[in-house]
Amino acid sequence: MNKTIDEEPRQYTVTVFTEDKVGMLNRITIVFTRRHLNIDSLTTSESEIKGIFRYTIVTKCTHSLIKKVVDQIEKLTEVLRACYYEEDDVIAQEIALYKISTRNLTKRDKSMEDIIREYNARILDIEDGFIVIEKTGFKRETQKLFEQLKPYGILQFARSGRVAVTKPIEELTDYLEALAQAARTSNKIRNWKLTNVD
Protein backbone atom coordinates (compact mmCIF):
# COMPACT_ATOMS: atom_id res chain seq x y z
CA MET A 1 0.00 0.00 0.00
CA ASN A 2 2.83 2.37 0.79
CA LYS A 3 5.21 1.37 -1.90
CA THR A 4 6.02 3.85 -4.60
CA ILE A 5 6.99 2.58 -8.00
CA ASP A 6 10.46 3.67 -8.87
CA GLU A 7 10.64 6.20 -11.66
CA GLU A 8 13.15 6.69 -14.42
CA PRO A 9 16.58 8.08 -13.54
CA ARG A 10 16.83 11.83 -14.01
CA GLN A 11 19.54 14.42 -13.69
CA TYR A 12 19.76 16.09 -10.28
CA THR A 13 21.92 18.89 -8.96
CA VAL A 14 22.89 18.40 -5.34
CA THR A 15 24.17 21.34 -3.34
CA VAL A 16 25.93 20.75 -0.08
CA PHE A 17 27.12 23.36 2.40
CA THR A 18 29.78 22.34 4.86
CA GLU A 19 32.12 23.64 7.49
CA ASP A 20 35.68 24.16 6.32
CA LYS A 21 37.18 20.83 7.42
CA VAL A 22 39.71 18.41 6.01
CA GLY A 23 38.11 15.31 4.54
CA MET A 24 34.63 16.72 3.80
CA LEU A 25 34.80 15.95 0.09
CA ASN A 26 35.78 12.39 0.87
CA ARG A 27 32.91 11.92 3.28
CA ILE A 28 30.41 13.30 0.80
CA THR A 29 31.58 11.20 -2.12
CA ILE A 30 31.54 8.06 0.03
CA VAL A 31 27.76 8.39 0.21
CA PHE A 32 27.60 8.26 -3.59
CA THR A 33 30.12 5.45 -3.84
CA ARG A 34 28.25 3.28 -1.36
CA ARG A 35 25.13 3.55 -3.50
CA HIS A 36 27.12 2.81 -6.65
CA LEU A 37 26.25 6.21 -8.05
CA ASN A 38 28.41 8.06 -10.53
CA ILE A 39 29.14 11.72 -10.01
CA ASP A 40 28.84 13.46 -13.38
CA SER A 41 30.42 16.68 -12.24
CA LEU A 42 31.53 18.29 -9.05
CA THR A 43 32.69 21.75 -8.12
CA THR A 44 33.50 23.26 -4.80
CA SER A 45 34.28 26.75 -3.60
CA GLU A 46 33.81 28.96 -0.60
CA SER A 47 30.23 30.20 -0.41
CA GLU A 48 29.01 33.75 0.17
CA ILE A 49 29.74 33.17 3.85
CA LYS A 50 33.34 32.88 4.96
CA GLY A 51 34.21 29.47 6.32
CA ILE A 52 31.30 27.70 4.66
CA PHE A 53 31.96 25.69 1.55
CA ARG A 54 29.60 24.92 -1.24
CA TYR A 55 29.67 21.72 -3.24
CA THR A 56 27.69 21.39 -6.44
CA ILE A 57 27.31 17.82 -7.58
CA VAL A 58 25.51 16.56 -10.64
CA THR A 59 24.32 13.00 -10.75
CA LYS A 60 21.74 10.87 -12.47
CA CYS A 61 19.41 8.63 -10.50
CA THR A 62 15.81 8.06 -9.46
CA HIS A 63 13.94 10.48 -7.29
CA SER A 64 13.60 8.10 -4.37
CA LEU A 65 17.32 7.44 -4.42
CA ILE A 66 18.40 11.06 -4.56
CA LYS A 67 16.24 11.76 -1.50
CA LYS A 68 18.01 9.03 0.47
CA VAL A 69 21.44 10.12 -0.70
CA VAL A 70 20.80 13.71 0.30
CA ASP A 71 19.47 12.65 3.72
CA GLN A 72 22.59 10.60 4.30
CA ILE A 73 24.81 13.50 3.29
CA GLU A 74 22.93 15.91 5.52
CA LYS A 75 23.39 13.47 8.39
CA LEU A 76 27.16 13.90 8.23
CA THR A 77 28.42 16.01 11.06
CA GLU A 78 29.81 19.29 9.72
CA VAL A 79 27.43 19.25 6.79
CA LEU A 80 25.15 22.22 7.32
CA ARG A 81 22.73 21.58 4.54
CA ALA A 82 22.21 19.27 1.61
CA CYS A 83 19.51 19.68 -1.02
CA TYR A 84 18.70 18.31 -4.42
CA TYR A 85 17.20 20.20 -7.33
CA GLU A 86 15.44 19.29 -10.50
CA GLU A 87 16.86 20.77 -13.68
CA ASP A 88 14.26 23.55 -13.70
CA ASP A 89 15.23 24.75 -10.28
CA VAL A 90 18.84 25.63 -10.92
CA ILE A 91 20.61 28.24 -12.93
CA ALA A 92 23.81 26.59 -13.92
CA GLN A 93 26.76 27.20 -16.18
CA GLU A 94 29.93 25.45 -17.11
CA ILE A 95 33.08 26.88 -18.56
CA ALA A 96 34.95 25.16 -21.37
CA LEU A 97 38.45 25.75 -22.76
CA TYR A 98 39.50 24.59 -26.23
CA LYS A 99 43.11 24.49 -27.34
CA ILE A 100 43.12 24.58 -31.13
CA SER A 101 45.99 24.07 -33.51
CA THR A 102 46.60 27.09 -35.78
CA ARG A 103 47.73 24.84 -38.59
CA ASN A 104 44.23 24.39 -40.10
CA LEU A 105 42.89 27.75 -39.08
CA THR A 106 42.47 29.19 -42.56
CA LYS A 107 41.58 26.07 -44.51
CA ARG A 108 37.92 25.86 -43.47
CA ASP A 109 34.90 27.38 -45.18
CA LYS A 110 33.53 28.94 -42.03
CA SER A 111 36.02 31.34 -40.52
CA MET A 112 37.06 30.90 -36.92
CA GLU A 113 35.98 34.44 -36.30
CA ASP A 114 32.41 33.64 -37.33
CA ILE A 115 32.26 30.63 -35.10
CA ILE A 116 33.51 32.55 -32.12
CA ARG A 117 31.01 35.31 -32.72
CA GLU A 118 28.14 32.89 -33.31
CA TYR A 119 28.83 31.00 -30.10
CA ASN A 120 29.51 34.00 -27.98
CA ALA A 121 32.91 32.55 -27.15
CA ARG A 122 36.19 34.43 -26.89
CA ILE A 123 39.84 33.96 -27.55
CA LEU A 124 41.70 33.69 -24.30
CA ASP A 125 45.21 33.30 -25.60
CA ILE A 126 47.13 33.20 -28.85
CA GLU A 127 50.48 31.47 -28.94
CA ASP A 128 52.81 30.17 -31.54
CA GLY A 129 51.03 27.11 -33.00
CA PHE A 130 47.76 27.25 -31.04
CA ILE A 131 44.98 29.43 -29.76
CA VAL A 132 42.82 28.96 -26.67
CA ILE A 133 39.11 29.62 -26.87
CA GLU A 134 36.82 30.02 -23.88
CA LYS A 135 33.09 29.48 -23.77
CA THR A 136 30.75 29.70 -20.79
CA GLY A 137 27.28 28.20 -21.05
CA PHE A 138 25.16 25.14 -20.74
CA LYS A 139 26.77 21.82 -21.39
CA ARG A 140 24.89 21.36 -24.64
CA GLU A 141 26.29 24.71 -25.87
CA THR A 142 29.89 23.99 -24.99
CA GLN A 143 29.41 20.55 -26.52
CA LYS A 144 28.05 21.98 -29.74
CA LEU A 145 31.02 24.31 -30.02
CA PHE A 146 33.24 21.30 -29.46
CA GLU A 147 31.71 19.64 -32.51
CA GLN A 148 32.20 22.80 -34.56
CA LEU A 149 35.84 23.09 -33.60
CA LYS A 150 36.67 19.44 -34.12
CA PRO A 151 37.70 19.80 -37.77
CA TYR A 152 40.36 22.33 -36.79
CA GLY A 153 42.03 19.79 -34.55
CA ILE A 154 41.35 20.13 -30.85
CA LEU A 155 44.62 19.65 -29.03
CA GLN A 156 43.07 19.85 -25.60
CA PHE A 157 39.59 20.28 -24.21
CA ALA A 158 38.60 20.92 -20.59
CA ARG A 159 35.16 21.57 -19.17
CA SER A 160 34.52 22.63 -15.59
CA GLY A 161 31.97 21.08 -13.31
CA ARG A 162 28.70 22.84 -12.95
CA VAL A 163 28.53 26.08 -11.03
CA ALA A 164 24.97 26.65 -9.98
CA VAL A 165 22.71 28.85 -7.96
CA THR A 166 19.24 27.70 -7.07
CA LYS A 167 15.89 29.32 -7.64
CA PRO A 168 13.97 28.37 -4.49
CA ILE A 169 14.55 31.28 -2.17
CA GLU A 170 15.83 30.09 1.12
CA GLU A 171 19.20 31.73 1.38
CA LEU A 172 22.03 30.33 3.41
CA THR A 173 22.04 33.18 5.94
CA ASP A 174 18.40 32.49 6.84
CA TYR A 175 19.13 28.84 7.06
CA LEU A 176 22.05 29.38 9.42
CA GLU A 177 19.69 31.19 11.76
CA ALA A 178 17.36 28.18 11.65
CA LEU A 179 20.29 25.87 12.36
CA ALA A 180 21.33 27.89 15.38
CA GLN A 181 17.77 27.69 16.66
CA ALA A 182 17.71 23.93 16.07
CA ALA A 183 20.94 23.50 18.00
CA ARG A 184 19.48 25.45 20.94
CA THR A 185 16.29 23.38 20.92
CA SER A 186 18.31 20.21 20.70
CA ASN A 187 20.28 21.22 23.76
CA LYS A 188 17.09 21.87 25.70
CA ILE A 189 15.79 18.42 24.89
CA ARG A 190 19.15 16.94 25.80
CA ASN A 191 19.08 18.64 29.19
CA TRP A 192 15.53 17.48 29.76
CA LYS A 193 16.65 13.94 29.04
CA LEU A 194 19.63 14.22 31.36
CA THR A 195 17.42 15.31 34.26
CA ASN A 196 14.55 12.91 33.51
CA VAL A 197 16.04 9.49 33.95
CA ASP A 198 13.66 6.79 35.12
Partner 1 sequence: MGKILGSQAVVKSLLEEGLDTVFGYPGGAVIPLYDSLFDYINEGKIRHVLARHEQAAAHEAQAYAQITGKVGVCIVTSGPGATNAITGIANANMDSVPMVVITGQVGSTFLGTDAFQETDVFGLSMPIAKWSCQITRPGDIADSFAKAFYIAVSGRPGVVVIEITKDALTHETEFHYKKAPVLRSYAPYPEIDQENIAAAAEMINNAKRPLALIGHGVLIARAEKAVREMLEKAGIPFGMTLMGLTALPSDHPLCIGMLGMHGSYASNKLTNEADLIIAIGMRFSDRVTGRLSGYAKKAKVLHIEIDKSEIDKNVETDLAVHADLKTALSYLTPMLEKKSNKQWRAEFDKFYKMEYEQVIRHDTQPGEGIIQPGEPVDIISRKTKGEAIVVTDVGQNQMVAARYYKFKTPNTFLTSGGLGTMGFGLPAAVGAAVAQSQKPVILFTGDGGFQMNEQELGTIIQEHLPVKIVILNNSVLGMVRQWQTMFNGGRHSATNLINPDFVTLAAAYGIKARKVADRAGLDPAIDEMLDLDGPYLLDIEVDKDMKVMPFIAPGSTVDEVKLC
Chain residues binding partner 1 by CB under 8 A are 1-4, 18-19, 22-23, 26-27, 30, 34, 64, 67-68, 71-72, 74-75, 77-80, 176, 179-180, 182-187, 189-190, 192-193, 196-198
Closer Cβ to partner 1, 69 or 90, answer by number:
69
Cα-based angle 29, 31, 32 (whole degrees, multiple of 5): 65
Helices (H) and strands (E) in the chain, counts: 5, 9
Shortest Å distance, C-beta 27 to partner 1: 5
128 phi, psi to nearest 5 deg = -65, 110
Cα–Cα nearest to 24, from 47, 8, 1: 47
Q: Indicate the SS3 state at residue 7.
A: coil
Query: Closer to partner 1 at the Cβ: 111 or 185?
Result: 185
- Residue closest to 82 by CA, chosen among 136, 172, 15, 1: 15
Query: Shortest Cβ distance from residue 13 to partner 1 (Å)?
Result: 20
Minimum CB separation of residue 56 from partner 1 in Å reads 19
Q: How far is the CB of 17 from partner 1 (least distance, A)?
A: 9
Q: Report d(CA 134, CA 125) in Å as an integer.
A: 9
Closest CB to partner 1 among residues 114, 171: 171
Nearer to partner 1, 70 or 96 (CB): 70
Shortest distance, CB of residue 188 to partner 1, whole angstroms?
A: 8
Per the CB < 8 A criterion, the answer to whether 85 and 162 are in contact is: no
Nearer to partner 1 among residue 48 and residue 198 (C-beta): 198
**Smallest separation (angstroms) from partner 1 to the CB of 52:** 10
Question: What secondary structure does DSSP assign to 18-82, as a single string?
Answer: EES-TTHHHHHHHHHHHTT--EEEEEEEE-SSTTEEEEEEEEEE-HHHHHHHHHHHHHSTTEEEE
